[in-house]
Amino acid sequence: MAAPVLLRVSVPRWERVARYAVCAAGILLSIYAYHVEREKERDPEHRALCDLGPWVKCSAALASRWGRGFGLLGSIFGKDGVLNQPNSVFGLIFYILQLLLGMTASAVAALILMTSSIMSVVGSLYLAYILYFVLKEFCIICVITYVLNFILLIINYKRLVYLNEAWKRQLQPKQD
């Protein structure tokens, strides 16, 4: 008896479109956040476009100690450690990973997408707590990226369920 041959499985079009839109928005926001962080380092008086008022200041949040290495990596690897990068760099890597792995329908890719999404949502909850309760600021860029991360979690969960069902249908023996 020959082993079953898996046919090509593709994800629904809405999933690809949603993933591209969310990842593109995440990449653009990450690039802008990186720009704000660099400008704030260069000129402490720099006023970013996302600094909308006394309570809505993204540059204050992005330039805080929690805006680099999640406020954790600096104490572990040192302030100038190679892993203590601005959070926007990690965001950029995350969104590019989500975009590229989202182009394949493999089981391994689906699991990596789901795992990295869970990690991003946990990180978003941690940073949202810091933003609200510690910094007492409102960072519009931060909040939008938290929402994008949650949307990607939903997209990746739907993908995993969809692909699992498709693979199960393919593996069922044919009834003659």
CATH of residue 56:
1.20.1440.130
Cα separations in angstroms, 45 against 36, 62, 134? 12, 14, 22
Residue 98 lies inside a defined structural domain of this protein: yes
Q: Which of 171, 172, 170, 163 is nearest to 108 (CA)?
A: 163
Residue 85 lies inside a defined structural domain of this protein: yes
Residue 150 lies inside a defined structural domain of this protein: yes
- How many domains, in total, are found in the chain? 1
Report yes or no: 95 and 26 within 8 Å, Cβ to Cβ: yes
Tell me the residue range of the domain where 116 lies: 13-165
pTM summary value:
0.87
**11-43 residue pLDDT tens:** 889 999 999 999 999 999 999 999 999 998 899
Q: How confident is the model at residue 176 (pLDDT cuts 50, 70, 90)?
A: low
Residue 1 lies inside a defined structural domain of this protein: no
Examine the pLDDT at 7 and tell me if it is beyond 60.
no
Residue 80 lies inside a defined structural domain of this protein: yes
Residue 170 lies inside a defined structural domain of this protein: no
Give the tokens for residue 45.
């008086």
Exposed, middle or buried: residue 8 (CB in 10 Å: 0-12, 13-18, 19+)?
Answer: exposed
Query: What mean pLDDT is predicted for residues 92-105?
Result: 96
Cα separations in angstroms, 39 against 13, 14, 73, 138? 39, 37, 22, 19
Residue 3 lies inside a defined structural domain of this protein: no
**38-97 residue pLDDT tens:** 998 899 888 889 998 888 889 889 989 999 988 888 878 888 888 889 999 999 999 999
Examine the pLDDT at 129 and tell me if it is beyond 90.
yes
Examine the pLDDT at 113 and tell me if it is beyond 80.
yes
Torsions phi, psi of 51, nearest 5?
Answer: -85, 90
Name residues whose C-beta falls within 8 Å of residue 95's C-beta, 6 or more positions apart in sequence.
Answer: 23, 26, 27, 30
- The pLDDT, as a whole number, for residue 105 is 85
Residue 125 lies inside a defined structural domain of this protein: yes
